[in-house]
């Protein structure tokens, strides 16, 4: 499972890929690799976000504010963050790859403007729904998306194992079998011994 973080703040853009495994994970940025234990995924992501309290808030499951339109100063947002959660079965994302073509579980976009956190979500008609979010929502949804990605990966591996098991049974069934002739009832008929043949003839 992988994450791609793209964050823009103070006219600088930072991109980091995280490859998460069951035990140890790695963060890859501009050729450097940083290993860490997977239970520290959120702290490692947080440390690479823009240094803004609205983005750094820990997960708390807060209720989202009521939906409303952004104010007139929204266009001059202080920071924007995109997080793509991808099921990769262990492979790293290529630097120029498009996460939307790599088995994405979710893509989240966050904006900080007017001292508020906003979430931008694409609609089916191609437009974008922008609504306010509570501090900690980024962490909450990151954990939710990562959990869903791991569940999808476990399901995919289980399906592959089931198919391999079925193919193995099919091959063993086609190669095996009893060479003795069978009766119409399906029971195997064994040749009678010479002694049994003589007793019936006598």
Q: How many helices (H) and strands (E) does the chain have?
A: 4, 8
The mean per-residue pLDDT over the stretch 22-38 comes to 90
With H, G, I as helix, E, B as strand and everything else as coil, classify residue 193.
coil
pLDDT at 52 over 80: yes
Q: What is the pLDDT of residue 79?
A: 92
Does the pLDDT value for residue 73 go beyond 60?
A: yes
Mean pLDDT of all residues in 121-135? 88
Rg (CA), the chain: 29
Answer whether 42's CB lies under 8 Å from 2's CB: no
> HSE-up of 25 (CA within 13 Å, CB side)?
20
The answer to whether residue 188 scores a pLDDT higher than 50 is: no
Q: What is the pTM of this model?
A: 0.69
The answer, yes or no, to whether residue 13 has pLDDT greater than 60, is: yes
Rounded Cα distance between 9 and 52, Å, is 10
Question: Binning pLDDT at 50, 70 and 90, where does residue 196 land?
Answer: very low
Q: Please, where are the H alpha helices in the chain?
A: 41-46, 53-56, 137-175, 194-201
Q: Are 27 and 3 contacting, i.e. CB atoms less than 8 angstroms apart?
A: no
From the number of C-beta atoms within 10 Å of its C-beta (0-12, 13-18, 19+), residue 99 rates as buried
Residues 49-56: what's their mean pLDDT? 94
- Average pLDDT on 17-38 reads 90
Identify which of 95, 88, 100, 99 has the alpha carbon closest to the alpha carbon of residue 30. 95
- Give the strand order in the sheet containing 79-86: 32-37, 24-29, 12-19, 2-9, 79-86, 104-113, 116-122, 128-133
Torsion angle of alpha carbons 86, 110, 29, 58, nearest 10°? -90
């Amino acid at each position: 499972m992988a994450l791609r973080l793209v964050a823009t703040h103070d006219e600088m853009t930072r991109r980091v890929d995280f490859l998460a495994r069951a035990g140890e994970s790695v963060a890859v940025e501009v050729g450097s690799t940083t290993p860490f234990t997977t239970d520290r995924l959120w702290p490692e992501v947080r440390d690479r976000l823009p240094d803004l309290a609205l983005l750094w808030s820990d997960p708390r499951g807060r209720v989202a504010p009521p939906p409303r339109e952004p104010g007139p100063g929204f266009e001059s947002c202080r920071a924007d963050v995109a997080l793509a959660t991808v099921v990769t079965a262990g492979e790293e994302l290529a630097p120029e790859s498009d996460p939307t073509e790599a088995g994405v579980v979710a893509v989240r976009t966050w904006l900080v403007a007017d001292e508020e956190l906003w979430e931008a979500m694409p609609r089916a008609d191609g437009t974008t729904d922008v609504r306010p979010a509570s501090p900690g929502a980024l962490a909450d949804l990151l954990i939710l998306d990562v959990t869903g990605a791991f569940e999808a990966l476990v399901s995919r591996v289980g399906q592959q194992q089931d198919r391999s098991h079925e193919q193995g049974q099919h091959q063993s069934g086609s190669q095996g079998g009893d060479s003795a002739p069978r009766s119409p009832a399906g029971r195997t008929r064994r040749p009678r011994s010479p002694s049994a043949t003589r007793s019936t003839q006598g």
